Structure 1
Amino acid sequence: MDSPRYSPPDDATLRRILQSTRTIAVFGTSPDPVRPSHFVARYLSLRGFRVIPVNPGHAGETLFGETVRASLADCPKDTDMVDIFRRSEHVPPIVAEAIDQLPQLRTIWLQVGVESDAAFAMAQARGLQFIQNRCPKIDYQRLFGELRMGGFNTGVISSSL
């Protein structure tokens, strides 16, 4: 029997996920404000999400009012979403760690350009919501009326809000 194939969530599902999520571990957060992981995490924190930055190379530093964690095992146990900024081939062990370490986990979100059949299978086996090749910042802006054209198809990238 073939494994179920990933299909992108509809807007109602995305809206429900974003409305119910409280704490997001952003795996691969950079302290560099021009990096996408930084401005996505910053944006989410400014929208009321508790954002837990995860980056072993910057553990102990402070970003968005939170201490940067070395691993998902160091994140609060009530973390309900993990947003992953890593290349696709690095995703499965991150998802395995999230499943093992975060008992309140409900959603695995892989950023634009990041896809993993293995991660999807793990998430599905645990009954988790799984989103790949999308950005929660972009979807939040689109679904809640905040989408601006700056940075989209303009050739200009900006980390400002």
Structure 2
Amino acid sequence: MSFMNPTQEKIGQILKQAGNIAIVGLSDKSDRISYIVAYTIQRRGYRIIPVNPAASGTEILGEMCYASLKDIPDNVDIVNVFRRSEYCAEVAREAAEIGAKVLWLQQGIISEEAAEIAAENGMIAIMDRCIKVEDAVSVRDPR
């Protein structure tokens, strides 16, 4: 059976219930898409947690950056991924280890293996969708 993203209604529910969103591959460069998306969703009221080994120990958008998901001391609801598809299965395994509820692969990123890992570990998988756009479309109430 081929992968299908949750319905628009379900995505809206996921976003309304989300607290901490770990952003894997978040760049500290303000002209990068990952930074722009993180900045926007942070301004909408979500707490972002940067994950980038190259920037570990520094702050991005006022939040401490971690080398890996396993290093985050807080609970994570959504793991939002800005990595190439071939790295997503490993991110999915790490997301499962920390008890994340949702594995979200950004627009243009598809990994059937990561989606299977997510499903096997009780996570909801969303692929090839931009969290910033989905929040604007699905979450009608401004945060």
TM-score range, shorter chain: over 0.9
| Paired position in structure 2 for 1:79 | 76
| Paired position in structure 1 for 2:118 | 123
2: CA distance, partners of 1:9 / 1:37? 22
**Per-residue deviation, 1:37:** 0.4
List, as ranges, runs of 4+ consecutive aligned residues in structure 1 with deviation greater than 2 Å: 143-146
Deviations 1:97-154 (CA, angstroms, capped at 9, x unpaired): 1111x12x110000011011111111111121110000110111122359xxxxxxxx
Q: Secondary structure at the match of 1:109?
A: strand
Pick one of 137, 141, 145 that aligns with 2:136: 141
**Per-residue deviation, 1:8:** 1.8
Q: Secondary structure at the match of 1:38?
A: helix
**Per-residue deviation, 1:61:** 1.2
* Alignment of structure 1 residues 98-117 onto 2, 5 Å: 98-100=95-97, 102-103=98-99, 105-117=100-112
* Alignment of structure 1 residues 20-59 onto 2, 5 Å: 20-59=17-56
2: CA distance, partners of 1:83 / 1:143? 17
Larger Rg: 1
Q: TM-score, normalised by structure 2?
A: 0.93
Q: TM-score, normalised by structure 1?
A: 0.83
2: CA distance, partners of 1:62 / 1:116? 29
Higher relative contact order (CA 8 A, sep 6+): 2
Give unpaired runs (5+ residues) of structure 2.
none
Q: Secondary structure at the match of 1:45?
A: helix
1: CA distance, partners of 2:71 / 2:43? 23
* Alignment of structure 1 residues 85-100 onto 2, 5 Å: 85-100=82-97
Give unpaired runs (5+ residues) of structure 1.
147-161
Q: Percent identity?
A: 34
2: CA distance, partners of 1:145 / 1:137? 13
